[in-house]
Amino acid sequence: MNIILLGPPGAGKGTQARILVDERRMVQLSTGDMLREARTSGTEMGKRVAEVMDRGDLVTDEIVIGLIREKLEGGESSGGYIFDGFPRTLAQADALGALLDDVGQDLDAVVEMQVDDDALVARITARSTCANCGEVYNDHSKPIPADGKCTNCGATEFKRRADDNEESLRTRLMAYYKQTSPLIGYYYAKGDLRSVNGLGEIGEVAGGIKTALG
Ligand code: AMP
């Protein structure tokens, strides 16, 4: 099963993708994670996109489509792929359809995670992740344990994303509404869209996604 998790920044796509990876042995393909990795490893592409990402704008279609192409052509996932944060434009959506065709695969569902904008701001400004495994924490709903150890891997270092501040978030939200939200209509018309309430507890949202996927 290949699925897209679609939703604004802070909707919980990464958190839910990790649950699907654990439960269904799916492979998470997050273009945001790939781009952050390219930045920290100091590749030319990483250097080029750093400023764009910190501002909260989208990097070019060419770059992210190239990243996804590499993964799809280079690997195999018996449990299927979760596309997290990709596609974000209509051009990327078309390219994903063509890439999946090329490797003889289909898109099974697009899960739209619905969250109101006030909740997004609150979530993002309180978000941190484990520096080792990427487990996501939230100062209010899922704080870092009192012993300072990640519940998933035991590491003791945590980080906040450079673009998780109110100014970048405003740009990221605008990019979502201008460039990404048309994908909701695009996938609805294709018959692939399943909408899920992304506002509840992590487990409740996971249950909603499970029901939506059948
Ligand atoms: P994310 O981790 O998905 O929130 O992505 C972080 C940032 O990476 C975004 O604000 C964009 O600058 C960039 N990015 C990630 N995925 C894409 C994509 N599919 N298209 C364009 N830019 C992206």
Contact 187, 83 (CB under 8 A): no
Residue among 98, 123, 120, 97 nearest 110 (CA): 97
Contact 157, 133 (CB under 8 A): no
Stretch 181-208: mean pLDDT, rounded? 96
Q: Are strands 27-30 and 127-130 parallel, antiparallel or unpaired?
A: unpaired
Peptide bond preceding 145 in cis form (omega within 30 of 0)? no
Residues in the chain: 214
Task: Give me the DSSP letters along 157-198.
Answer: -EE--TT-SHHHHHHHHHHIIIIITHHHHHHHHHT-EEEEE-
Q: Give the DSSP letter of residue 103.
A: T
Stretch 68-78: mean pLDDT, rounded? 86
pLDDT digits (tens, 9 = 90+) for 9-54: 999 999 999 999 999 999 999 999 999 999 999 899 999 999 999 9
Give pLDDT, residue 141: 85
- Residue 123's SS3 state is helix
**Ligand 1: which residues within 6 Å by Cβ?**
9, 31-32, 35, 52-53, 56-59, 64, 85-86, 88, 92, 163, 172
Give pLDDT, residue 4: 98
Stretch 66-91: mean pLDDT, rounded? 92
Contact 100, 107 (CB under 8 A): yes
Q: How far does the centroid of ligand 1 lie from the alpha carbon of residue 147, in Å?
A: 32
- If you take atom 1 of ligand 1, which residue's CA is the nearest one? 32
Residues known to be catalytic: 13, 88, 127, 161, 172
Stretch 84-108: mean pLDDT, rounded? 96
Where do the H-state alpha helices sit in the chain? 13-24, 31-40, 44-55, 61-74, 90-102, 117-125, 166-175, 182-190, 202-213
Contact 74, 156 (CB under 8 A): no
pTM: 0.91
Give pLDDT, residue 38: 94
Mean pLDDT across the chain, nearest whole number?
94
Give pLDDT, residue 123: 86
Q: How far does the centroid of ligand 1 lie from the alpha carbon of residue 210, in Å?
A: 25
